[in-house]
């Protein structure tokens, strides 16, 4: 990659106060999810001819996830509002299978753990694809970035 495409990425992700604070464990998971997302991503608002890098501020308003995208300088690039309804079932199922996975680690056979983990990864991929589809025409992201964003969406919903 050369030129403008090198800057088609996030350099900062901030959670708005509408997200709220949670337990120290969940705050740690949120921080890890943000770190992973910033560490490696491909992120480009559709129609932005000036290029990034970008800062992303996430807010939650009435069960909608608001993406406020700015340049490194703080100049507003775009704001997108994404209903979380299409992700609700996948996130719920993902949490259920994660609980099964963590319970299995303590007592199940390796083959059972592997089977549950495959299901867990499958649901994660499904949620990531749904997120990519919902952002289509708004923000260009690759699948790995969609996976990291889906992880962050899950952590935002995790109540501990």
Tell me the per-residue pLDDT of 25-34, one tens digit each, with 9 for 90 and over: 778 878 888 9
Alpha-carbon span 150 to 82, nearest angstrom: 13
What pLDDT shows up at residue 59?
A: 87
94 has a pLDDT exceeding 80: yes
What pLDDT shows up at residue 158?
A: 63
> Quick one: tokens of 69?
């995208």
One DSSP character per residue, 79-134 reads EEEEESHHHHHHHHHHHHHHHHHHHHHHHS-HHHHHHHHHHHHHHHHHHHHHHHHH
Contact 55, 69 (CB under 8 A): yes
């Amino acid at each position: 990659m050369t030129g403008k495409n090198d800057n088609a990425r996030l350099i900062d992700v901030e959670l708005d106060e509408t997200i709220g604070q949670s337990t120290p464990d969940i705050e740690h998971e949120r921080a890890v999810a943000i770190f992973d997302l910033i560490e490696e991503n491909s992120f480009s608002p559709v129609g932005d001819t000036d290029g990034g890098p970008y800062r992303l501020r996430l807010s939650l308003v009435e069960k909608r996830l608001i993406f406020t995208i700015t340049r490194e300088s703080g100049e507003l690039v775009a704001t997108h509002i994404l209903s979380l309804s299409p992700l609700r079932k996948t996130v719920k199922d993902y949490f259920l299978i994660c609980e099964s996975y963590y319970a299995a680690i303590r007592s199940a056979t390796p083959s059972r753990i592997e089977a549950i983990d495959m299901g867990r990864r499958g649901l994660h991929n499904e949620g990531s694809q749904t997120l990519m589809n919902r952002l289509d025409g708004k923000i260009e992201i690759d699948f790995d970035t969609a996976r990291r964003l889906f992880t962050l969406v899950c952590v935002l919903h995790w109540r501990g």
